[in-house]
Amino acid sequence: MPGMDPNSDFLLADWLVQPSLNRLSRGEQTVQVEPKLMDVLAFLASRAGDVVSKDQITDAVWTDQFITDSVVTRAIATLRRALEDDAHDPSYIETISKRGYRLIVAATPAADAEPSPLDTPQPWKAAGSAVPFVVSQWVRGDRFYGRAAQISEILDGNRNWLWLLGTRRVGKTSLLKQLEHLTASSPESGYFPIFWDLQGAASPDELHRDFSDALLDTEERLDRLGIEVDEVAADDLFISLGRLRRKLRSKRLKLLLLCDEVEELIQLNRKDPALLRKLRRAMQSREDIRSVLASSIRLWALAGHQEDTSPFLHGFTPPVYLDILRDDEARSLIRQAQLDADVRPSFDDAAVERIRERCGNHPYLIQLLCQRYLELGDLDEAFEQVTTDSMVSFFFSVDFDLLTGTERRIITTIAEHTAASSKTIQLDFPLDSPSLVGSLNRLENLGFIRRNEERRFYLVNYFFRRWLQNLPLTRPLSGGG
């Protein structure tokens, strides 16, 4: 795309990129990104196929501004999430060790591309106001809704080692970012937060480097405490952690370590189990650190790995489950109750309840459905679009496949019976009572199922039920207990 207007629309595989609107769209899916992130993507597109260094990206995007390498690292990680790319098996942005990054798909002009749904008139909102719902990105502050119980348990509870467990797109990163926001803006909380994104930390060197990046992101806040980042920074994350804890202790602050994408530790454990043992000891040391791990149920793979005398997750369990929103939280999210009245969507009570019930109070589905409803002006059409959305199907498929064989069979049995009792489930396949109770409890904690007034289980999510109905009959449902 050399010589092309940087504000011109272009295509990356099946993504339509609109720099002037800070928007990515694919089919019915739309993702808004921050302007600097769009500038990074446009620069990579202008050099598609070439390796570009962090310095080159910095010079092109942050002209005349001093930033650390960690800003570029975070920008790339956020773009990957927006593009639904995998750092280990990239389809869009490849990391070239010690050199930089490379866009591995061609960027082609999209002058004739059809406009995305947001280009159509939206009479629901005041002129010039932004779409209030945030899809496929983390939120915090006024955009964050609910989770009071989990926030209280993490910040005010007696446990210093916690595992935040939830399905895809249920809001794990947003909760970590909200915890960071709350504690960073309120020193009286007694915490100093560090958000540590482990995405891509598949080797010891990357793990150390990612912690260094996370530490650099706190430089301004450390400076306000009278702590120079160079006083604590080291190539070895364990040295950095020790120095930082001692400095914070002198300020009567406890380190709040907020770790995202912790599934990466599974791969790291295969390469260097000794490092994982050391990491566990560092996260669980003394009283001046509170460690929060956020992941999907994939992290259970580390529960059986014996590290020293117990598994890595010993001390982090039982997990703090992050499931669907409470009814009142879901209603507040739909109404965008924390925004100024003149920019809130004007949904009537009937629409609010239909949205909440169809989505099963799932925050991502609520935001996606509400966005579609505002774009289309037709709630039934919005329901149908979300039902057939390929990305919704994809994350249902990933979550379903991560369940045990027993859990998958329970879900399909409940779906077949509409609402099923534990007796019905037992009759469908042999299962001893304790195992059945444990599986049902976990599915309920993860937000897949609930009990109705007759104490029968039902699937809470209409879109998930529709996805199950379309499963191939040959799809295997057996598997590990």
CATH number at residue 438: 1.10.10.10
Contacts of the segment 398-402: beta carbons below 8 A, 24+ positions apart? 398/168, 399/167, 399/168, 399/296, 402/296, 402/297, 402/298
- Domain assignment of residue 365, yes or no: no
Same domain, 168 and 310: yes
CB 372 within 8 Å of CB 385: yes
- Domain assignment of residue 363, yes or no: no
What average pLDDT does the chain have? Answer: 85
Same domain, 172 and 246: yes
Give pTM, 2 decimals. Answer: 0.76
- Domain assignment of residue 203, yes or no: yes
Same domain, 151 and 83: no
- Domain assignment of residue 57, yes or no: yes
Same domain, 216 and 303: yes
Same domain, 224 and 270: yes
Same domain, 88 and 155: no
Same domain, 298 and 186: yes
Place of tokens 């609402």: 419
CB 53 within 8 Å of CB 12: no
- Domain assignment of residue 479, yes or no: no
pLDDT of residue 328: 96
Bridge partner list, 23: 18, 32
**Cα-flanking dihedrals φ and ψ of residue 237, to 5°?**
-65, -30
pLDDT of residue 243: 94
Same domain, 158 and 102: no
pLDDT of residue 321: 96
- Domain assignment of residue 250, yes or no: yes
* Parent domain of 168: 147-321
- Domain assignment of residue 82, yes or no: yes
Enumerate the H helices of 185-272 as residue ranges: 204-216, 219-224, 229-232, 237-250, 264-271
Structural domains counted in the chain? 3
Which pLDDT band holds residue 308 (cuts at 50, 70, 90)? very low
pLDDT, tens digit (0-9, with 9 covering 90-100), for 368-409 = 999 999 988 899 999 999 999 888 888 899 899 999 988 999
Written as one letter, the residue type at 171 is G
Domain boundary among 61, 93, 109: 109
Same domain, 89 and 202: no
What percent of the chain has a predicted confidence (pLDDT) above 70?
A: 89
Bridge partner list, 260: 197
Same domain, 167 and 314: yes
Same domain, 188 and 294: yes
